[in-house]
Chains A and B, each alone.
Chain A
Amino acid sequence: MGKQLRGRRGKQWWRSLEELAGSEAFQEYLSQQFPQQLALLSQSPTRRQFLQLMGASLALAGLSGCTEEPAEAIIPYVQTPAEIVPGRPLYYATAAAPAGHVLGLLVESHEGRPTKIEGNPDHPASRGATDAFTQAFILGLYDPDRSQTPYRRNQIASSRNFAENLAAQREALRQTQGAGLRILTEPILSPTLADQLNRLAEAFPEMRLHVWDPIRCGLRETAMELAFGPDAAGLATAYRFDRADVVLSLDADFLASGLYPVRYADEFMQGRRFPKDQAGRWTMNRLYAVQTTASLTGAKADHCLSRHVTQLEAFAFDLAEQLGVEIQRPQGLPDSEVPQRWLQAVVEDLQRERAGDEQAPLIIAGDHLPPRIQALAAAMNQQIGATGTTVNYYQQPHRELAAADGDNRSPVESLRALVEAMNGGEVQTLLILGGNPVYDAPADIDFAAALAKVPFSCHLSLYRDETSRLCSWQVPLNHSLESWSDLVAEDGTASIVQPLIEPLYDGWTAHRLLAHLLDESDRTDYDLVRDYWREQSGADDFERWWFETLHRGTVQDSAASPEELSLRGDFATALSEAQAAGNAAAADAFEVVIRPDPSVWDGRFANNAWLQELPKPLTKLTWDTAALISPEDARAAGLTTGDLVELTADSRTVQVPIMVMPAQPRRTITLTLGYGRRHAGRVGSRQGFNVYPLRSSDAMWFVHGVQLRKLGSRYPLSTTVHHHLIDPKEIEERHIIREGTLEELNAHPQHPSFVHPGHPTWESRPWQRGRANGEANSNGGEEHNHGQPQPSAYPEWNYENDEDQHRYKWAMVIDQNACTGCNACVVACQAENNIPVVGKEEVGRGREMHWIRIDAYYSGDEANPLGPNFQPLPCMHCENAPCEVVCPVAATSHSEEGLNEMTYNRCVGTRYCSNNCPYKVRRFNYFNYTGNLRELPVLQLLQNPDVTIRTRGVMEKCTYCVQRLNAARIEAKMASLGDGPATIGQPASGGDQPGGARDGNANANQPNGANQGGTQHQAQHAANGPAVQTACQQVCPARAITFGDLNTPGSEVSQMRNHPLNYELLGELNTRPRTTYWAIVRNPNPKLIDEQNEQSS
Chain B
Amino acid sequence: MSHQPEKSRDIHRPPVLRPGHSLQSVTEKISTIVLTKHTSRGWWLGFILGFAGVMLLLLGITYLFIAGIGIWGLNVPVAWGFAIVNFVWWIGIGHAGTLISAILLLLKQQWRTSINRFAEAMTIFAVACAGLFPLLHLGRPQFFYFLVPYPSTTGVWPQFRSPLMWDFFAVATYFTVSLLFWYMGLIPDFATLRDRAHRWGAKVTYGILAMGWRGSSRHWRRYQDAYLLLAGLATPLVVSVHTIVSFDFAVGIVPGWHETIFPPYFVAGAIYSGFAMVFTLAIPLRAAYGLQDFITDRHLDNSAKVMLASGLIVAYGYLMEGFMAWYSGHAFETYVFTNRFTGPYAPAYWALIICNIVIPQALWFRKIRRTPITLFFISLVINVGMWLERFIIVVVSLHRDHLPSSWDNYSPTFWDWALFLGTIGLFTSLLFLFIRFLPMISIAEMRELVEEHEQHAEQAHASGQSNPPLHDRPVTEEGRTQPGTESPGEGPPPERPPDQPPGGGGPPESP
| Residues in chain A within 8 A of chain B (CB atoms) | 721-722, 725-726, 730-731, 733-734, 736, 759, 761-762, 764-765, 768, 772, 794, 842, 845-847, 853, 855-857, 871, 873, 882, 885-890, 906-912, 914-916, 918-920, 922-928, 952-955, 1066, 1069
B346 interface contact, C-beta 8 A: no
| Residues of B contacting A888 in the complex (Cβ-Cβ under 8 angstroms) | 146-147, 158-159, 162, 164-165, 168
Q: In the bound complex, do residue A887 and residue B329 qualify as a contact, i.e. CB atoms below 8 Å apart?
A: no
Minimum CB–CB distance for A949 against chain B, Å: 15
Q: In the bound complex, do residue B140 and residue A954 qualify as a contact, i.e. CB atoms below 8 Å apart?
A: yes
| Residues of B contacting A890 in the complex (Cβ-Cβ under 8 angstroms) | 156-159
| Residues of A contacting B251 in the complex (Cβ-Cβ under 8 angstroms) | 885-886
- CA A955 to CA B74, docked complex, whole Å: 14
15 pairs of residues in contact across A and B, judged by CB atoms under 8 Å: A721-B405, A725-B407, A730-B404, A761-B330, A908-B141, A908-B143, A910-B137, A912-B162, A919-B403, A919-B406, A920-B403, A923-B76, A924-B139, A927-B68, A952-B139
Minimum CB–CB distance for B224 against chain A, Å: 39
| Residues of B contacting A923 in the complex (Cβ-Cβ under 8 angstroms) | 76
Q: In the bound complex, do residue B404 and residue A847 qualify as a contact, i.e. CB atoms below 8 Å apart?
A: no
| Residues of B contacting A882 in the complex (Cβ-Cβ under 8 angstroms) | 252-253
- For window 130-163 of chain B, which residues contact chain A by CB distance below 8 Å? 137-141, 143-144, 146-147, 156-159, 161-163
Q: In the bound complex, do residue B401 and residue A920 qualify as a contact, i.e. CB atoms below 8 Å apart?
A: yes
- Residue of A761, A846, A916, A954 touching B76 (CB-CB under 8 A): A846
| Residues of A contacting B406 in the complex (Cβ-Cβ under 8 angstroms) | 919-920
Who on chain A is nearest to B145 by CB? A908
| Residues of A contacting B479 in the complex (Cβ-Cβ under 8 angstroms) | none
Q: Which 6 A-B pairs have the closest CB atoms?
A: A909-B139, A953-B139, A846-B75, A926-B70, A911-B79, A920-B406
Who on chain B is nearest to A955 by CB? B139
Name which of B254, B398, B404 has the most chain A CB atoms within 10 A of its CB. B404
Minimum CB–CB distance for A79 against chain B, Å: 41
- Residue of A725, A731, A736, A909 touching B138 (CB-CB under 8 A): A909
B67 interface contact, C-beta 8 A: yes
0/1 interface trace, chain B 449-487, chain A, CB 8 Å (1 if under):
000000000000000000000000000000000000000
Minimum CB–CB distance for A339 against chain B, Å: 32
Who on chain A is nearest to B408 by CB? A846
| Residues of B contacting A1066 in the complex (Cβ-Cβ under 8 angstroms) | 402-403
Who on chain B is nearest to A923 by CB? B76
Q: In the bound complex, do residue A924 and residue B405 qualify as a contact, i.e. CB atoms below 8 Å apart?
A: no
A-B contact count (CB 8 A): 176
B contact residues, range: 35 or more
Known: A726-B407, A734-B331, A734-B332. A886 touches B163 (CB 8 A): yes
| Residues of A contacting B156 in the complex (Cβ-Cβ under 8 angstroms) | 889-890, 906
- CA A923 to CA B403, docked complex, whole Å: 15
Q: A910-B164, A924-B139, A926-B68 are in contact. List 18 more A-B contacts (CB 8 A).
A: A722-B408, A722-B409, A733-B335, A734-B331, A847-B70, A886-B251, A889-B143, A907-B140, A908-B141, A909-B139, A912-B80, A916-B252, A918-B254, A919-B403, A926-B69, A953-B140, A954-B139, A1066-B402
B123 interface contact, C-beta 8 A: no
- CA A222 to CA B120, docked complex, whole Å: 87
Q: In the bound complex, do residue B162 and residue A887 qualify as a contact, i.e. CB atoms below 8 Å apart?
A: yes
Minimum CB–CB distance for B422 against chain A, Å: 20
Minimum CB–CB distance for B161 against chain A, Å: 5
- For window 397-439 of chain B, which residues contact chain A by CB distance below 8 Å? 398, 400-409
Minimum CB–CB distance for B324 against chain A, Å: 13
Q: In the bound complex, do residue B139 and residue A911 qualify as a contact, i.e. CB atoms below 8 Å apart?
A: yes
Who on chain B is nearest to A919 by CB? B403
- CA A730 to CA B334, docked complex, whole Å: 11
Q: In the bound complex, do residue A889 and residue B330 qualify as a contact, i.e. CB atoms below 8 Å apart?
A: no
Q: In the bound complex, do residue B254 and residue A915 qualify as a contact, i.e. CB atoms below 8 Å apart?
A: yes
| Residues of B contacting A726 in the complex (Cβ-Cβ under 8 angstroms) | 404, 407
- Residue of B70, B253, B329, B408 touching A927 (CB-CB under 8 A): B70
B46 interface contact, C-beta 8 A: no
Minimum CB–CB distance for B6 against chain A, Å: 47
| Residues of B contacting A764 in the complex (Cβ-Cβ under 8 angstroms) | 329
| Residues of B contacting A889 in the complex (Cβ-Cβ under 8 angstroms) | 143, 146-147, 156, 158-159
Name which of A721, A856, A916 has the most chain B CB atoms within 10 A of its CB. A916
- Residue of A761, A908, A911, A925 touching B331 (CB-CB under 8 A): A761
Minimum CB–CB distance for B285 against chain A, Å: 38
Minimum CB–CB distance for A562 against chain B, Å: 44
Q: In the bound complex, do residue A855 and residue B405 qualify as a contact, i.e. CB atoms below 8 Å apart?
A: yes
| Residues of A contacting B74 in the complex (Cβ-Cβ under 8 angstroms) | 911, 926
Q: In the bound complex, do residue B79 and residue A734 qualify as a contact, i.e. CB atoms below 8 Å apart?
A: no
| Residues of A contacting B69 in the complex (Cβ-Cβ under 8 angstroms) | 909, 926, 953
| Residues of A contacting B508 in the complex (Cβ-Cβ under 8 angstroms) | none
| Residues of A contacting B73 in the complex (Cβ-Cβ under 8 angstroms) | 845
- CA A888 to CA B134, docked complex, whole Å: 12
- CA A938 to CA B68, docked complex, whole Å: 26
- CA A759 to CA B252, docked complex, whole Å: 22
Who on chain A is nearest to B339 by CB? A730
- CA A914 to CA B168, docked complex, whole Å: 20
Who on chain B is nearest to A838 by CB? B70
- CA A722 to CA B406, docked complex, whole Å: 8
Who on chain A is nearest to B331 by CB? A733
Q: In the bound complex, do residue A910 and residue B402 qualify as a contact, i.e. CB atoms below 8 Å apart?
A: no
- For window 362-421 of chain B, which residues contact chain A by CB distance below 8 Å? 398, 400-409
Minimum CB–CB distance for B208 against chain A, Å: 38
Q: In the bound complex, do residue A920 and residue B68 qualify as a contact, i.e. CB atoms below 8 Å apart?
A: no
Who on chain B is nearest to A871 by CB? B405
- CA A890 to CA B141, docked complex, whole Å: 16
| Residues of A contacting B158 in the complex (Cβ-Cβ under 8 angstroms) | 888-890
- CA A847 to CA B400, docked complex, whole Å: 16
Who on chain A is nearest to B77 by CB? A920
| Residues of B contacting A909 in the complex (Cβ-Cβ under 8 angstroms) | 69, 138-140
Known: A761-B334, A906-B156, A908-B147. A918 touches B402 (CB 8 A): yes
Minimum CB–CB distance for B84 against chain A, Å: 9
Name which of B73, B156, B162, B401 has the most chain A CB atoms within 10 A of its CB. B162
Q: In the bound complex, do residue A918 and residue B401 qualify as a contact, i.e. CB atoms below 8 Å apart?
A: yes
- CA A721 to CA B327, docked complex, whole Å: 31
Name which of B76, B331, B409 has the most chain A CB atoms within 10 A of its CB. B76
Who on chain B is nearest to A929 by CB? B70
| Residues of B contacting A857 in the complex (Cβ-Cβ under 8 angstroms) | 404-405
Who on chain B is nearest to A734 by CB? B331
- CA A857 to CA B335, docked complex, whole Å: 18
- CA A873 to CA B404, docked complex, whole Å: 13
Name which of B73, B144, B159 has the most chain A CB atoms within 10 A of its CB. B159
Known: A846-B408, A847-B75. A915 touches B252 (CB 8 A): yes
- CA A888 to CA B140, docked complex, whole Å: 13
